[in-house]
Structure 1
Amino acid sequence: MHLAPRQRDILEQVRERGYVSIDELVQAFAVTPQTIRRDINQLAEKGLLRRFHGGAASDSSTQNTAYAMRATQMREEKRRIAEAVAEQIPDHASLFINIGTTNEAIARALQNHKGLKIITNNLHVASLLSSKSDFEVLVAGGTVRADGGVVGQPTEDFIRQFRADYAIVGISGIDEDGSLLDFDYQEVRVSQAIIDNARQVWLAADSSKFGRNAVVRLGPLSVVDALFTDAAPSKTISQQLKQHKIALHLV
């Protein structure tokens, strides 16, 4: 496949780092943002990467972007999503919070609440919220991943002991057919247990998750009661939201 030298270099950076912003590429190649966007669009059309608002990412369906890179992607959008979710959570509620950097932003946004009971398999969430003396934080046991997620059969068994008011769920991808997708089978099993044991299930997903590929199917979009995101989804996904009466919160 013929690629211009700059496009080959852009692709190499994206593959090495998982995600690269347009601003970083502009500085690296001393060209205009329009030039970089044009390169990214051409590479995306060839199926070599995925374009996002503000940058580009690799398009592997089998391996997630490294945690350090995910933590910096769509940071402002995640912050707005987090504030919108936190506004809807009442004091003295019980909630599950699963793995994901958006959920970690939500944990930060919840720190002004009172009397929350949090059940989580995310060590970063537990660390953020355990400093609040009026919060009760319960952490699932299991295998600890490098990104602070806890997974495995013991994790799933622990989750199934509870019935929470809310589940705050993150996801790696939302297919056009409404399938919720992730990369880790064990993580998906825990998320399914969380969904099964919550009265309300809220999906927190920035717009880069729409149409993103991942190999493990968590379930259909219809398992959630509300979607919090930063941009309107496609017409196909919007129709499913209406069909299943899923509340859409745009921030």
Structure 2
Amino acid sequence: MHYSSRHSRILALLAEKGTIGVGDLAQRLEVSVETVRRDIRTLSGRGDIVRRHGEIGLPSGVNEAPFERRMRENRPAKEMIARLAASTIRDGESVMFDTGATTSILARALLNHRRLTVVTNSSDIARTLATVNGNKVYMAGGELRSDSGAALGFSAIEFVNRFSVDHAIISAGGISASTGVMDYNLEEAQFGQAVLVRGRRRVVVADASKFGQKGLVQVCGLSEIDELIVNRAPPDDLVKALQTAEVAIQIAS
């Protein structure tokens, strides 16, 4: 079947992103929204894409869990951050993680480390690091979220409160100069806060798309973390706020 170059670009973008909005797609292709809508009608009529809730996606991808989609979004940036974060952890040390796409990718970057003690509420991280290289993995119990496979709530927090670790590492839904580290889910924010308290070194890993995002629920203020590991220098106002809070900024490249 013949595809125009623009149709091929649309399919390639969907393979990378999973789903995308019409307006965002028009911006990326540098064409009008009406042109994009004509393309969508053509591709949809062929069965190559499907439309749902103002977005389009590949037929195989519209039912993927939100967590799987987050694992693919900004993947190269998250992998750079993960490699840098992994390089700061030594064999035999203890690490506590919350559930998040960047922390899950970090777990994969630790597969060559040995004798780690890992505490997490993420079934993905637990599966990745358990039973290899002499690691010990402790996973918080409770009901697992269907989208991310994470245990949340009182029992998960009570579990991690029993540990004290070398590195407490969390992801973030957003980070800004005015509101600090934010998330979009109350239970995830509460768990992230509990993780940070248990670490001798408190680290947030976040790609540049999180800069300036205020989220819904505050995880902590900037003064409650020691390091921020990112893939790009933050905007000036955030840099100034981080410096005031004495937070070290590490930039992966």
Q: Indicate the SS of the match to 1:150.
A: coil
- Check whether the contact 1:177–1:236 (CA below 8 A) recurs between aligned residues: no
1:200-215 to 2 correspondences below 5 Å: 200-215=201-216
1:56-75 to 2 correspondences below 5 Å: 66-75=66-75
**2:107 is matched by which residue type in structure 1?**
A
1:236 counterpart residue number? 237
Aligned pair 1:124/2:124, yes or no? yes
Give the aligned length: 207
Inter-CA distance 106–32: structure 2 relative to 1 (3 Å threshold):
closer
CA RMSD after TM alignment: 2.8
Task: Give distance in 2, aligned partners of 1:18 and 1:179.
Answer: 29
Structure 2-normalised TM-score? 0.75
Identity of aligned residues (%): 29
Q: Which structure 1 residue ranges, 5 or more long, are not aligned?
A: 1-9, 37-57, 59-64
- Check whether the contact 2:177–2:241 (CA below 8 A) recurs between aligned residues: no
1:55-134 to 2 correspondences below 5 Å: 66-134=66-134
Inter-CA distance 248–107: structure 2 relative to 1 (3 Å threshold):
same
Task: Give distance in 2, aligned partners of 1:143 and 1:219.
Answer: 25
Aligned pair 1:250/2:251, yes or no? yes
2:152 counterpart residue number? 151
The CA deviation at 1:221 is 1.5
**1:80 is matched by which residue type in structure 2?**
M
Task: Give distance in 1, aligned partners of 2:81 and 2:235.
Answer: 18
**1:215 is matched by which residue type in structure 2?**
L
Inter-CA distance 114–179: structure 2 relative to 1 (3 Å threshold):
same
The CA deviation at 1:131 is 3.2
1:165-187 CA-partner distances (Å, limit 9, x unpaired): 11011111113314211122122
- Check whether the contact 1:116–1:134 (CA below 8 A) recurs between aligned residues: yes
2:135 counterpart residue number? 135
- Runs of 4+ residues over 3 Å off in structure 1: 31-36
1:184 counterpart residue number? 185
The CA deviation at 1:33 is 3.6
Q: Which structure 2 residue ranges, 5 or more long, are not aligned?
A: 1-9, 33-54, 56-64
1:190-217 CA-partner distances (Å, limit 9, x unpaired): 2111111110011100011112242111
- Check whether the contact 1:19–1:73 (CA below 8 A) recurs between aligned residues: no
Task: Give distance in 1, aligned partners of 2:245 and 2:214.
Answer: 23
Structure 1-normalised TM-score? 0.75
1:221 counterpart residue number? 222
**1:217 is matched by which residue type in structure 2?**
Q
1:146-168 CA-partner distances (Å, limit 9, x unpaired): 21111010000000000001101
Task: Give distance in 1, aligned partners of 2:79 and 2:127.
Answer: 18
Task: Give distance in 1, aligned partners of 2:217 and 2:86.
Answer: 28
Inter-CA distance 204–232: structure 2 relative to 1 (3 Å threshold):
same
Task: Give distance in 2, aligned partners of 1:238 and 1:72.
Answer: 27
Task: Give distance in 2, aligned partners of 1:236 and 1:242.
Answer: 10
Q: Indicate the SS of the match to 1:192.
A: helix
Inter-CA distance 229–35: structure 2 relative to 1 (3 Å threshold):
farther
Q: Indicate the SS of the match to 1:124.
A: helix
- Check whether the contact 1:171–1:182 (CA below 8 A) recurs between aligned residues: yes
Greater Rg over alpha carbons, structure:
2
Task: Give distance in 1, aligned partners of 2:85 and 2:140.
Answer: 23
Q: Indicate the SS of the match to 1:151.
A: coil
- Check whether the contact 1:178–1:240 (CA below 8 A) recurs between aligned residues: no
